[in-house]
Amino acid sequence: MREPRPRHYPTDLSDAEWAALEPLLPPPATRGRPLKWSRRLMVEAIFYLVRSGCAWRMLPTSFPPWQTVFAHFRRCRLDGTLRRAHDQLRALARKAEGRQAEASAAIIDSQTVRATGVGGPERGYDAAKRTAGRKRHILVDAAGLVLLAHVHAADLHERLGAQLLVGRASEGELPRLVLVWADGAYAGTFARWLEAERGWRVEVPKHCDRHLSRYGREDKPKGFQVIPRRWVVERTFAWLSRSRRLARDYERLPETAEAMIHAAMSRIMLRRIVA
Protein backbone atom coordinates (compact mmCIF):
# COMPACT_ATOMS: atom_id res chain seq x y z
CA MET A 1 0.00 0.00 0.00
CA ARG A 2 1.18 3.46 -0.84
CA GLU A 3 1.96 5.90 1.95
CA PRO A 4 2.33 9.68 1.41
CA ARG A 5 5.03 11.81 2.89
CA PRO A 6 5.07 12.05 6.70
CA ARG A 7 2.59 14.47 8.26
CA HIS A 8 0.85 15.09 11.56
CA TYR A 9 -2.52 16.68 12.25
CA PRO A 10 -4.49 16.96 15.51
CA THR A 11 -7.20 14.75 13.99
CA ASP A 12 -4.82 11.85 13.35
CA LEU A 13 -5.60 8.59 15.11
CA SER A 14 -3.31 7.19 17.76
CA ASP A 15 -2.41 3.51 17.64
CA ALA A 16 -4.84 2.84 20.51
CA GLU A 17 -7.68 4.69 18.75
CA TRP A 18 -7.10 2.83 15.51
CA ALA A 19 -7.00 -0.47 17.42
CA ALA A 20 -10.44 0.38 18.84
CA LEU A 21 -11.90 1.46 15.48
CA GLU A 22 -10.44 -1.10 13.06
CA PRO A 23 -12.47 -4.11 14.32
CA LEU A 24 -15.68 -2.12 13.73
CA LEU A 25 -14.95 -1.67 10.01
CA PRO A 26 -15.73 -4.36 7.42
CA PRO A 27 -12.72 -6.31 6.16
CA PRO A 28 -11.20 -5.27 2.83
CA ALA A 29 -12.60 -6.92 -0.28
CA THR A 30 -10.81 -10.10 -1.29
CA ARG A 31 -11.44 -9.53 -4.99
CA GLY A 32 -10.14 -6.87 -7.28
CA ARG A 33 -6.97 -4.85 -7.01
CA PRO A 34 -5.17 -4.68 -3.67
CA LEU A 35 -5.59 -1.51 -1.63
CA LYS A 36 -3.40 1.34 -2.80
CA TRP A 37 -3.97 3.43 0.34
CA SER A 38 -4.28 2.22 3.91
CA ARG A 39 -7.74 2.32 5.49
CA ARG A 40 -6.38 4.19 8.50
CA LEU A 41 -5.19 6.99 6.24
CA MET A 42 -8.59 7.22 4.56
CA VAL A 43 -10.33 7.51 7.93
CA GLU A 44 -7.89 10.18 9.08
CA ALA A 45 -8.55 12.17 5.90
CA ILE A 46 -12.30 12.13 6.62
CA PHE A 47 -11.76 13.23 10.22
CA TYR A 48 -9.48 16.04 8.99
CA LEU A 49 -12.10 17.29 6.53
CA VAL A 50 -14.89 17.28 9.13
CA ARG A 51 -12.80 19.03 11.79
CA SER A 52 -11.11 21.60 9.54
CA GLY A 53 -14.11 22.36 7.32
CA CYS A 54 -12.12 22.35 4.10
CA ALA A 55 -13.59 21.41 0.73
CA TRP A 56 -12.97 17.93 -0.67
CA ARG A 57 -10.72 19.36 -3.37
CA MET A 58 -8.63 21.18 -0.74
CA LEU A 59 -7.49 18.11 1.20
CA PRO A 60 -3.73 18.33 1.82
CA THR A 61 -1.51 16.35 -0.52
CA SER A 62 -0.29 14.31 2.44
CA PHE A 63 -3.61 12.45 2.23
CA PRO A 64 -4.80 10.26 -0.65
CA PRO A 65 -6.35 12.06 -3.66
CA TRP A 66 -9.62 13.75 -2.73
CA GLN A 67 -11.53 11.71 -5.30
CA THR A 68 -10.41 8.52 -3.55
CA VAL A 69 -11.32 9.83 -0.09
CA PHE A 70 -14.72 11.07 -1.26
CA ALA A 71 -15.51 7.75 -2.94
CA HIS A 72 -14.58 5.91 0.26
CA PHE A 73 -16.74 8.24 2.38
CA ARG A 74 -19.70 7.93 0.00
CA ARG A 75 -19.45 4.15 -0.02
CA CYS A 76 -19.37 4.03 3.79
CA ARG A 77 -22.42 6.30 3.93
CA LEU A 78 -24.45 4.30 1.42
CA ASP A 79 -23.75 0.84 2.85
CA GLY A 80 -24.25 1.99 6.46
CA THR A 81 -20.68 1.36 7.60
CA LEU A 82 -20.33 4.84 9.07
CA ARG A 83 -23.59 4.62 11.02
CA ARG A 84 -22.87 1.10 12.34
CA ALA A 85 -19.37 2.06 13.48
CA HIS A 86 -20.78 5.15 15.19
CA ASP A 87 -23.39 3.12 17.09
CA GLN A 88 -20.84 0.53 18.18
CA LEU A 89 -18.48 3.26 19.37
CA ARG A 90 -21.33 4.78 21.37
CA ALA A 91 -21.88 1.45 23.14
CA LEU A 92 -18.16 1.22 23.94
CA ALA A 93 -18.06 4.83 25.17
CA ARG A 94 -21.05 4.24 27.45
CA LYS A 95 -19.47 1.11 28.90
CA ALA A 96 -16.22 3.01 29.48
CA GLU A 97 -18.22 5.47 31.62
CA GLY A 98 -19.80 2.69 33.63
CA ARG A 99 -23.17 2.81 31.84
CA GLN A 100 -25.12 0.11 30.06
CA ALA A 101 -24.64 -0.12 26.31
CA GLU A 102 -28.23 0.99 25.59
CA ALA A 103 -29.76 4.19 26.94
CA SER A 104 -32.99 4.25 28.96
CA ALA A 105 -33.54 8.04 28.74
CA ALA A 106 -32.80 10.62 26.06
CA ILE A 107 -33.12 14.31 25.16
CA ILE A 108 -34.42 15.62 21.84
CA ASP A 109 -33.96 19.01 20.19
CA SER A 110 -33.26 20.68 16.85
CA GLN A 111 -30.76 23.22 15.54
CA THR A 112 -31.30 25.48 12.55
CA VAL A 113 -28.19 25.83 10.39
CA ARG A 114 -27.64 28.45 7.73
CA ALA A 115 -27.18 26.98 4.26
CA THR A 116 -24.65 27.93 1.59
CA GLY A 117 -25.09 28.23 -2.16
CA VAL A 118 -24.43 24.54 -2.78
CA GLY A 119 -28.10 23.82 -3.35
CA GLY A 120 -29.83 20.47 -3.06
CA PRO A 121 -33.13 19.20 -1.63
CA GLU A 122 -34.59 19.80 1.82
CA ARG A 123 -34.02 23.55 2.04
CA GLY A 124 -36.37 25.99 3.73
CA TYR A 125 -36.76 29.16 5.79
CA ASP A 126 -37.12 29.07 9.57
CA ALA A 127 -39.20 32.16 10.34
CA ALA A 128 -38.60 31.89 14.09
CA LYS A 129 -34.81 31.94 13.66
CA ARG A 130 -34.92 34.07 10.49
CA THR A 131 -32.56 31.60 8.87
CA ALA A 132 -32.67 29.89 5.49
CA GLY A 133 -31.21 26.42 5.49
CA ARG A 134 -31.77 23.11 7.23
CA LYS A 135 -32.57 21.77 10.68
CA ARG A 136 -30.58 19.12 12.51
CA HIS A 137 -32.78 17.00 14.72
CA ILE A 138 -30.90 14.81 17.19
CA LEU A 139 -31.77 12.46 20.02
CA VAL A 140 -28.98 12.11 22.59
CA ASP A 141 -28.49 10.03 25.72
CA ALA A 142 -27.87 11.42 29.21
CA ALA A 143 -24.15 11.77 28.41
CA GLY A 144 -24.79 13.75 25.21
CA LEU A 145 -23.93 10.96 22.75
CA VAL A 146 -26.05 10.91 19.60
CA LEU A 147 -28.65 8.13 19.39
CA LEU A 148 -30.48 9.34 16.28
CA ALA A 149 -29.83 12.15 13.81
CA HIS A 150 -31.94 13.52 10.97
CA VAL A 151 -31.45 16.57 8.73
CA HIS A 152 -34.44 18.18 7.04
CA ALA A 153 -35.71 21.52 5.72
CA ALA A 154 -35.64 24.42 8.18
CA ASP A 155 -39.30 25.29 7.59
CA LEU A 156 -40.51 21.95 8.97
CA HIS A 157 -42.10 22.20 12.42
CA GLU A 158 -40.28 20.57 15.34
CA ARG A 159 -43.13 18.11 15.87
CA LEU A 160 -42.99 16.85 12.28
CA GLY A 161 -39.21 16.79 12.23
CA ALA A 162 -39.13 14.80 15.46
CA GLN A 163 -41.58 12.28 14.00
CA LEU A 164 -39.30 11.81 11.00
CA LEU A 165 -36.34 11.39 13.36
CA VAL A 166 -38.00 8.72 15.46
CA GLY A 167 -39.49 7.04 12.40
CA ARG A 168 -36.00 6.32 11.07
CA ALA A 169 -35.31 4.00 14.01
CA SER A 170 -36.25 0.36 13.56
CA GLU A 171 -38.45 -1.43 16.06
CA GLY A 172 -35.52 -3.24 17.68
CA GLU A 173 -33.40 -0.11 17.96
CA LEU A 174 -33.08 1.62 21.36
CA PRO A 175 -34.82 -1.24 23.22
CA ARG A 176 -34.36 0.21 26.74
CA LEU A 177 -35.53 3.74 26.00
CA VAL A 178 -38.63 4.77 27.97
CA LEU A 179 -38.25 8.51 28.70
CA VAL A 180 -37.53 11.50 26.44
CA TRP A 181 -36.89 14.99 27.81
CA ALA A 182 -37.83 17.85 25.49
CA ASP A 183 -38.98 21.47 25.42
CA GLY A 184 -42.56 22.65 25.11
CA ALA A 185 -42.61 22.40 21.31
CA TYR A 186 -42.66 18.60 21.59
CA ALA A 187 -45.48 18.39 24.14
CA GLY A 188 -49.04 17.65 23.15
CA THR A 189 -49.48 16.03 19.74
CA PHE A 190 -45.94 14.68 19.43
CA ALA A 191 -45.91 13.35 23.00
CA ARG A 192 -49.14 11.43 22.37
CA TRP A 193 -47.87 10.13 19.04
CA LEU A 194 -44.55 9.01 20.56
CA GLU A 195 -46.21 7.11 23.39
CA ALA A 196 -48.63 5.42 21.00
CA GLU A 197 -45.93 4.51 18.45
CA ARG A 198 -42.98 3.61 20.69
CA GLY A 199 -44.22 3.62 24.25
CA TRP A 200 -41.78 6.42 25.15
CA ARG A 201 -42.93 9.06 27.62
CA VAL A 202 -42.16 12.75 26.98
CA GLU A 203 -41.30 14.99 29.92
CA VAL A 204 -40.77 18.76 29.67
CA PRO A 205 -38.23 20.05 32.25
CA LYS A 206 -38.87 23.58 33.52
CA HIS A 207 -37.08 26.25 35.52
CA CYS A 208 -37.87 25.20 39.09
CA ASP A 209 -37.03 28.61 40.53
CA ARG A 210 -39.12 30.48 37.97
CA HIS A 211 -42.04 28.17 38.62
CA LEU A 212 -41.89 28.90 42.35
CA SER A 213 -41.56 32.64 41.79
CA ARG A 214 -44.76 32.57 39.74
CA TYR A 215 -46.65 31.77 42.93
CA GLY A 216 -44.73 34.21 45.09
CA ARG A 217 -42.88 31.51 47.04
CA GLU A 218 -39.45 32.77 46.02
CA ASP A 219 -37.95 35.84 44.40
CA LYS A 220 -37.68 35.77 40.64
CA PRO A 221 -34.16 34.62 39.69
CA LYS A 222 -31.92 36.91 37.68
CA GLY A 223 -29.60 36.10 34.82
CA PHE A 224 -29.16 32.91 32.83
CA GLN A 225 -30.71 29.77 34.33
CA VAL A 226 -29.78 26.26 33.19
CA ILE A 227 -32.81 24.10 32.40
CA PRO A 228 -32.43 20.59 33.86
CA ARG A 229 -31.61 17.87 31.34
CA ARG A 230 -32.16 20.06 28.28
CA TRP A 231 -28.66 21.54 28.56
CA VAL A 232 -27.21 18.15 27.60
CA VAL A 233 -28.43 18.29 24.00
CA GLU A 234 -27.32 21.94 23.71
CA ARG A 235 -23.84 20.85 24.74
CA THR A 236 -23.89 18.20 22.01
CA PHE A 237 -24.72 20.88 19.45
CA ALA A 238 -21.74 22.84 20.77
CA TRP A 239 -19.52 19.78 20.29
CA LEU A 240 -20.71 19.43 16.71
CA SER A 241 -20.14 23.14 16.01
CA ARG A 242 -16.47 22.73 16.87
CA SER A 243 -16.19 20.70 13.67
CA ARG A 244 -16.06 23.47 11.11
CA ARG A 245 -17.67 21.35 8.42
CA LEU A 246 -20.81 21.50 10.59
CA ALA A 247 -20.64 25.23 11.36
CA ARG A 248 -22.88 25.70 8.31
CA ASP A 249 -24.64 23.31 5.98
CA TYR A 250 -22.23 22.77 3.09
CA GLU A 251 -23.72 19.49 1.86
CA ARG A 252 -25.87 19.02 -1.21
CA LEU A 253 -27.67 16.00 0.27
CA PRO A 254 -29.14 15.88 3.79
CA GLU A 255 -27.90 12.27 4.06
CA THR A 256 -24.35 13.55 3.68
CA ALA A 257 -24.95 16.09 6.45
CA GLU A 258 -26.13 13.27 8.73
CA ALA A 259 -23.00 11.27 7.89
CA MET A 260 -20.88 14.28 8.88
CA ILE A 261 -22.60 14.29 12.29
CA HIS A 262 -21.80 10.61 12.77
CA ALA A 263 -18.18 11.16 11.72
CA ALA A 264 -17.71 14.10 14.12
CA MET A 265 -19.23 12.17 17.04
CA SER A 266 -17.16 9.08 16.21
CA ARG A 267 -13.97 11.10 16.59
CA ILE A 268 -15.15 12.45 19.96
CA MET A 269 -16.08 9.00 21.24
CA LEU A 270 -12.79 7.44 20.14
CA ARG A 271 -10.91 9.84 22.37
CA ARG A 272 -13.21 9.02 25.28
CA ILE A 273 -12.74 5.28 24.84
CA VAL A 274 -8.95 5.33 24.96
CA ALA A 275 -8.65 8.13 27.55
Cβ atoms 164, 150 nearer than 8 A:
yes
Q: What are the Cα distances from residue 237, in Å, to 135, 194, 243?
A: 12, 23, 10
Mean of pLDDT values over 22-32: 85
Cβ atoms 140, 261 nearer than 8 A:
no
CA distance 229 to 187: 16
Mean of pLDDT values over 53-82: 95
Nearest-CA neighbor of 149 among 169, 131, 174, 134? 169
**Lowest mean per-residue pLDDT among 75-89, 182-196, 200-214:** 200-214
Q: In which band, very low, low, confident or very high, does the pLDDT at 201 lie, cut at 50, 70 and 90?
A: very high
CB-count exposure of residue 220 (10 Å: 0-12, 13-18, 19+):
exposed
Q: In which band, very low, low, confident or very high, does the pLDDT at 215 lie, cut at 50, 70 and 90?
A: very low
CA distance 46 to 267: 10
Between 24 and 6, name the one with better pLDDT. Answer: 24
SS3 state of residue 139: strand
Phi-psi region of 216 (alpha: psi -120 to 50; beta: other; left: phi over 0): left
Mean of pLDDT values over 47-66: 95
CA distance 143 to 131: 29
Instruction: Please state, as a whole number, how many other Cβ atoms lie within 10 Å of the Cβ of residue 135.
Output: 25
Nearest-CA neighbor of 159 among 124, 125, 135? 135
Residue-wise pLDDT for 217-270, tens only, equals 556 666 656 677 889 999 999 999 999 999 999 999 999 999 999 999 999 999
Q: In which band, very low, low, confident or very high, does the pLDDT at 75 lie, cut at 50, 70 and 90?
A: very high
DSSP character string of 214-236: HTTSSPPP-S--PPTTHHHHHHH
